[in-house]
Amino acid sequence: MKQKSLYLITTLIVLLSLALSACGTAKPSNPNLILATTTSTQDSGLLDVLVPMFEEQTGYKVQTVAVGTGEALKMGEEGNADVLLVHAPSSEVTFMDGGNGKERFLVMHNDFILVGPASDPAGIKGLGPKDAFVAIYNAGAPFVTRADDSGTYKKEVSFWTKAQLEPKGQAWYIETGQGMGASLTVASEKGAYILTDRATYLANKDKLQLEILLEGNNALLNVYHVITVNPDKWPKINYEGALAFAKFMTDPATQKVIGTFGVDKYGQQLFVPDADKTDADLGL
């Protein structure tokens, strides 16, 4: 009788183990994944929430490389990253047209803002982006630029170009070559203007002597896409992991987390989820 009971218990344990295994996620054949992304997703704290979620759900181990979008795209072009999370749509299209990416998915957006000292020496408050940059140039007011080929820098350059102005070389134009968080710190110390994404600004606001002086213009939209690097060009990249990350970022559950991120701490969402939209919906 005891032997029969022991047999039944052993059988139940085996069946329970099999059931749990069936419910779990199979371990990836290659668990190492390189994510090249912008400093804004890192500095805002969003990736500190999303990456652990992805790792727990899938078994992948993510190596995050936070650089400017230009550098992230270059890593993809050279096969030095598996998946990208970037925010420079026109450069991304060029990347895809060059056969460097396999898939590109819309993930989220927030916006750029122009911040500076509360005294607003160039008088930009209430102006549109182009006029604000003209006013800063004419006033020779300190302006901090990342000058790092990031998505933020590309957006800044687009405004100088529209204004038909070249600030490079001017004594008041301060180049950092650093990420968004570090550049905001420099701007605060110098009492300078700077173009930033809203998320990184809010995440660092308490440490800065900078106020939002220009916001809400359609030209300031900041859109993020996730891109899988093309395995046809780089066979050794972890395409399976890249696609898993892309699907995770666009999954409704993850999109919900993105949409609520920052609300409890800052009283507003830092990113707007967009996986259910198209680029055309955002005017791209």
Q: What pLDDT is attached to residue 25?
A: 56
- Whether 28-110+222-282 shares its CATH topology with 111-220 is answered yes
**Per residue of the chain (284 residues), what is the pLDDT tens digit?**
444 443 334 333 334 333 434 444 578 999 999 999 988 888 889 999 999 999 999 999 999 999 988 999 999 999 999 999 999 999 999 999 999 999 999 999 999 999 999 999 999 999 999 999 999 999 999 999 999 888 899 999 999 999 999 999 999 999 999 999 999 999 999 999 999 999 899 989 999 999 999 999 989 999 999 999 999 999 999 999 999 999 999 999 999 999 999 999 888 889 999 999 999 999 88
User: What residue spans define the domains of the chain?
Assistant: 28-110+222-282, 111-220
Contact status, residue 143 vs residue 171, Cβ threshold 8 Å: no
Q: What pLDDT is attached to residue 68?
A: 86
Architecture (CATH level 2) of domain 111-220: 3-Layer(aba) Sandwich (3.40)
Work out the angle at residue 101's Cα, subtended by the Cα atoms of residues 98 and 104, and round it to the nearest 5 degrees: 120
Q: What pLDDT is attached to residue 284?
A: 84
Q: Does domain 28-110+222-282 have CATH number 3.40.190.10?
A: yes
Q: What pLDDT is attached to residue 110?
A: 92
Q: What pLDDT is attached to residue 23?
A: 43
Q: What pLDDT is attached to residue 89?
A: 93
Alpha helices in the chain (DSSP H): 2-23, 39-43, 46-58, 69-77, 89-97, 129-139, 151-162, 180-190, 198-204, 239-250, 252-260, 263-266
Work out the angle at residue 205's Cα, subtended by the Cα atoms of residues 204 and 210, and round it to the nearest 5 degrees: 120
